[in-house]
Amino acid sequence: MRFSIAIHLMGRWLYKPTLKLEGKEEHAYHNLDIDTWSYYEIIWLTKDLKYNVANGIKMWWKGKDDDYDFLRELLIDQDVLDLENYALEHNCEAQIYVVLGVS
């Protein structure tokens, strides 16, 4: 099975009047294979975009049409499997939010 994600990078979190990420770059990936998907795949995709992850990285995800109040942290492979299952069950693109330079 296949699914899609969008990775959002380099923005900043603001409350206007609700939480949102502004000034971000978005990179979409389609037809990702669920059999090879993992936490480190997200790290590799981020590194392939020429971003330095050596100084730390924090990640969250949500469904495409969900509010930012539904952000879930990405820490381990189980979180990534939850993201994948959500995208497949809801037939939507999962949104991943990445902040670099945090340990």
Tally the residues of the chain. Answer: 103
Is the model's pLDDT at 15 over the cut of 90? no
**Spans of all domains in the chain:** 2-100
- The pLDDT-based confidence of 103 (bands split at 50, 70, 90) is low
Packed helices 77-90 and 39-48: angle between N→C axes, nearest 10 degrees: 90
Residue 25, pLDDT score: 81
- Give 3-state DSSP helix, strand, coil % of the chain, rounded to 5: 25, 40, 35
Residue 19, pLDDT score: 75
Report the CATH architecture of 2-100. Answer: Roll (3.10)
Residue 33, pLDDT score: 86
Q: What is the pLDDT of residues 35-90, one digit of tens each?
A: 888 888 888 888 887 777 778 888 999 988 888 888 899 999 899 999 999 998 99
